[in-house]
Amino acid sequence: MLLNDYFRQIQTLVDQCAIVQESNLVYEARSHDRGFIHGELNLINGKTLAVREFVKTTSIVDREMYTYQYMTAENQLIFRYDNTGHHRKLSLSTFPHHKHDGSETNVIASDAPDLAKVLQEIADQS
């Protein structure tokens, strides 16, 4: 997949998502096959989803770094998915992917969700 095609795919997802009220995502090409997406999605429930993805698009889309941080209007953490490799105690089958659920210290093993799955999780909680 081409980098610009991936950027368009993400923007289409955001534009068509019923729970997104406003988006300020920024799409930065770093080379012909690497890019960075960052910004916030303001949701209809008054909460915010901060998004960061560093992607490499060769034959597949590889999100080399990602963070999806869901917060209250008061900037309190509801959950965050990321793949920072600092929680080695977690299951080797999911490392470095993990979820901070409700606090920075409540860390659980997790798959590597994409933005669509995270938005669906938020919609299901609403």
What are the tens digits of pLDDT across the range 15-35?
999 999 999 999 999 999 999
pTM comes to 0.89
Residue 21 lies in a domain: yes
pLDDT at 106 over 90: no
pLDDT surpassing 60 at residue 114: yes
> Cis before residue 96, ω within 30 degrees of 0?
yes
What is the predicted pLDDT for the residue at 90? 61
88 versus 1: the higher-pLDDT residue is: 1
Residues 22, 44: Cα–Cα separation, whole Å: 9
Is residue 108 one of the residues assigned to a domain? Answer: yes
Domain count, the chain: 1
pLDDT, tens digit, for every residue of 50-102?
999 999 998 888 999 999 999 999 999 999 999 987 656 665 567 788 899 99
Tell me the one-letter amino acid at 18.
A
Q: Is residue 111 part of a domain?
A: yes
Q: Determine, yes or no, domain membership for 10.
A: yes
126 is a domain residue: no
Does any domain span residue 20? Answer: yes
Which range marks the domain in which residue 112 is found? 3-121
